[in-house]
């Protein structure tokens, strides 16, 4: 499949940061982009009509992870990902001309905090977030029975000028109140939004890439290393420490996203020849804060 030819691309979750950036990239390449809004009352038949004949189907569905997880919100996290992906899978089965490629989002939260992980690692965490990712990917993989190439993209922490994690991190650092989270020893696997976009394009052009793939920089770093770099680039002090109990008070179980260690490497991308523009966090940060 070549980006050089005009493609029909359907995106579920087009209004979010990743979806809007993908839409911009695909439009610049003169492709046709269709947005899918899948609600509780959206029928499988309606979805099938929209995606029938599409070259690429991208599923980015899901409410934000970076907030407090109440029991009600955890239900929303699950349904917005798993139930939506189930509907998409059933819609694919109804298509006369099925998508050639189905890319579905996932996250490095699938992995445990003990091991070092490549794309084939099955050392999964025994918690809500990991189970969420496992079920999410499991639903997406069902499309393989229809001879659709399926890729599950495991995102690290995404940094961008437009928002996401950096939008929450920068303000306290800019006023000199930045610091490490908990012990600061937890590893952070991250990716610059520009590399994420280029990785999507690379996946589309590389038919050998299938299954789970880590979309993270080849250089993860500890939270304390990240904190020190933020202080140096912004020329601000970083002597504060946010204790785990404070994060748990604010985010509840969702604090695991910030406190758990995830050391993840994009071996599959590197082995296929992908080159990152922002390998090191310092370079990514300088681009973002300019």
**Successive 10-residue mean pLDDT values, the chain, 290 residues:** 78 93 96 93 95 97 91 95 96 97 97 97 96 97 97 96 77 79 95 98 97 98 94 87 87 90 98 98 92
What CA–CA distances, in Å, run from 173 to 178, 188, 231, 237, 238? 4, 18, 7, 8, 7
d(CA 257, CA 111): 12
Q: Which pLDDT value is given to residue 3? A: 58
The answer to whether 71 touches 254, Cβ cutoff 8 Å, is no
What pLDDT does 33 receive? Answer: 97
Q: What's the CATH superfamily of 8-222+251-289? A: NAD(P)-binding Rossmann-like Domain (3.40.50.720)
Q: Report the alpha-carbon distance of residue 82 to residue 138 in Å, rounded.
A: 9
| Three-state DSSP state, 179 | strand
Domain boundaries, the chain: 8-222+251-289
How many C-beta atoms surround the C-beta of residue 30 within 10 A? 11
Per-residue burial over 64-94, b if 16 or more Cβ lie within 10 Å, else e, is: ebeeebeeebbeebbebbbebbbbbbbbbee
Orientation of helix 128-141 relative to helix 71-78, angle to 10°: 20
pLDDT at 46: 96
């Amino acid at each position: 499949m070549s980006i050089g030819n005009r493609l029909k691309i359907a995106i579920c979750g087009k209004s979010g940061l990743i979806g809007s950036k993908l839409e911009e990239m695909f439009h610049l390449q003169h492709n046709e982009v269709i947005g899918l809004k899948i609600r509780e009352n959206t029928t499988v038949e309606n979805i099938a009509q929209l995606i029938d004949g599409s070259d690429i189907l991208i599923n980015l569905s899901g409410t934000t992870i970076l907030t407090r997880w109440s029991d009600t919100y955890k239900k929303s996290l699950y349904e917005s990902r798993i139930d939506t992906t189930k509907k998409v899978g059933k819609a694919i089965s109804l298509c006369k001309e099925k998508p050639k490629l189905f890319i579905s989002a996932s996250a490095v939260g699938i992995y445990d905090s003990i091991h070092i992980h490549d794309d084939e690692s099955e050392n999964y965490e025994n918690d809500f977030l990991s189970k969420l990712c496992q079920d999410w990917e499991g639903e997406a993989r069902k499309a393989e029975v229809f001879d659709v190439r399926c890729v599950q993209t495991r995102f690290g922490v995404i940094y961008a000028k437009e928002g996401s994690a950096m939008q929450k991190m920068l303000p306290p650092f800019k006023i000199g109140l930045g610091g490490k989270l908990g012990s600061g020893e937890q590893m952070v696997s991250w990716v610059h939004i520009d590399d994420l976009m280029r990785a999507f394009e690379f996946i589309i052009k590389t038919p050998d890439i299938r299954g789970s793939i880590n979309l993270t920089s080849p250089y993860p770093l500890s939270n304390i290393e990240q904190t020190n770099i933020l202080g140096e680039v912004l020329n601000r002090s970083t002597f504060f420490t946010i204790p785990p109990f404070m994060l748990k008070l604010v985010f509840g179980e969702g604090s695991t996203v910030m406190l758990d260690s995830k050391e993840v490497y994009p071996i599959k991308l590197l082995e296929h020849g992908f080159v990152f523009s922002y390998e090191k966090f310092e370079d990514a940060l300088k681009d973002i804060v300019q």
